Amino acid sequence: MTANKRIKQGVMYAILILLSIYTLFPIYFLIVNSFKSQKEIVGSPISVPSSFDFSYLKNAAAQIRLGESVVNTLIITVVAVALIVVISSLTAWMMVRNKTKASSFLFLCFTAAMLIPFQSVMYPLVNLMEALGLKNTFGLILMYGGFGLSMTVFLYHGFFKSVPLSLEEAAVIDGANIFQLFFNVVFPLVKPITATVVITNAMWIWNDYLLPFLIIGNNDSKTLTLSLYYAKSLSGQYGNPWELIFPAVLICVIPILIVFIFLQKNIIEGIAAGAVKG
């Protein structure tokens, strides 16, 4: 029995380690090829670079206007995520605390909207935003706010149900106003789901291609992913410029890598918390 069990464990470890290598391989591959010339990338794509030449990274950073793109993406992501968190949590809280028909109808609307794919509203949306003078970064933030609502309200709604009402009553009797009540008493109790909400929304907004493509296009104030797209498509008429693409992708990935290394525990736990209730 024990020998049998040991073999089983050994086989499972072997498979999982192989899968881990397979999972990390594209990342390794991305890193080593960011320091090679076009010739070296095509000639020996898997090997460690013969010399760590940073000129390709520098060139890629210039091509995608790194500083500007990072600042734009950061502003859009942070503001949009903050907007989504505050607005959706307030709405979900009010919906849980008011058991009226209006409240259930509103919840139904938000849940049903999860079924609407972005592609089916994007053209009229761009039209509308143009008419409202919002075809810019500010409009982009509002749109992310709108599209993040449904899923986020749904997640918060599930969590607020477990917050005890007596706690809130006590705070109100102690003289807390509605915002003190919410931000000092209720909101801290749903931290796990806030972590989930922040991660999933930030991930999606940071990496999004389609919405910035439609709203900003090939103008100034591009996001990181959009800059990458244009850097590739504009220089790729004569085959793929890999010595530009690899370092440019690496630059887009590095911020995520850093955040993940520092917050990996919170991220994994946050995602797991959302998975239970979702």
Partner 1 sequence: MEKYYKKWFKILNIPAAILFVVVILVPFIMGMAYSFTAWRGSYFKGSEHWYGALVGFKNYIKVFHSQKFITSFIYTIKFTIVAVVAKNIVSLGMALMVRKVGKGKGFFRTVFFFPNLLGGLAMGFIWSFIFQNVYSLMLFGEDSPIHIPFLCDMLQDPNKAVFAMAIMATWQTAGYLMLIYLNGLNNIPEDLYEAASIDGATAWQKFRHITVPMLMPAFTIVFFLTLSSSFKMLDENLALTGGDFGTRMLSLQILLTTRENTPPNYGMAQAQAVIFFILIAVVSIVQVIVTKRKEIEA
Provide, rounded to whole angstroms, the least separation between the CB of residue 50 and partner 1. 18
Confirm or reject binding of residue 31 to partner 1 (CB under 8 A).
Answer: no
Provide, rounded to whole angstroms, the least separation between the CB of residue 208 and partner 1. 8
Size of the site for partner 1 (CB under 8 A): 86
Contact 189, 128 (CB under 8 A): no
Provide, rounded to whole angstroms, the least separation between the CB of residue 58 and partner 1. 19
Confirm or reject binding of residue 108 to partner 1 (CB under 8 A).
Answer: no
Confirm or reject binding of residue 262 to partner 1 (CB under 8 A).
Answer: no
- Nearest Cα neighbor of 252 from 31, 75, 54, 80 is 31
Instruction: List, in sequence order, the alpha helices (H) in the chain.
Output: 2-33, 38-43, 55-63, 66-97, 101-113, 122-131, 137-160, 165-173, 178-180, 191-207, 210-215, 224-235, 242-277
Which span (54-62, 74-82, 189-197, 256-264) binds partner 1, by CB under 8 A?
256-264
65: left (phi over 0), alpha (psi -120 to 50) or beta: left
- Nearest Cα neighbor of 170 from 162, 181, 158, 159 is 181
Which span (52-60, 74-82, 110-118, 188-196) binds partner 1, by CB under 8 A?
110-118
Confirm or reject binding of residue 232 to partner 1 (CB under 8 A).
Answer: yes
Q: 115 or 220: whose CB is closer to partner 1?
A: 115
Confirm or reject binding of residue 252 to partner 1 (CB under 8 A).
Answer: yes
Which span (52-60, 74-82, 189-197, 243-251) binds partner 1, by CB under 8 A?
243-251
Quote the distance between the C-alpha of residue 180 and its chain's center. Answer: 29
Confirm or reject binding of residue 234 to partner 1 (CB under 8 A).
Answer: no
Confirm or reject binding of residue 131 to partner 1 (CB under 8 A).
Answer: no
Instruction: Find the binding residues for partner 1 in span 47-86 (CB under 8 A).
Output: none
Dist. CA 240–CA 216, nearest whole Å: 25
Q: Is the dihedral of CA 55, 56, 61, 62 positive or negative?
A: positive
Q: Which of 20, 50, 136, 266 binds partner 1 (CB under 8 A)?
A: 20
Q: 51 or 100: whose CB is closer to partner 1?
A: 100
Dist. CA 194–CA 205, nearest whole Å: 16
Dist. CA 118–CA 211, nearest whole Å: 9
Q: 188 or 261: whose CB is closer to partner 1?
A: 261
Tokens of 170: 């006590």
Instruction: Find the binding residues for partner 1 in span 190-229 (CB under 8 A).
Output: 203, 206-207, 209-210, 225, 228-229
Q: 68 or 204: whose CB is closer to partner 1?
A: 204
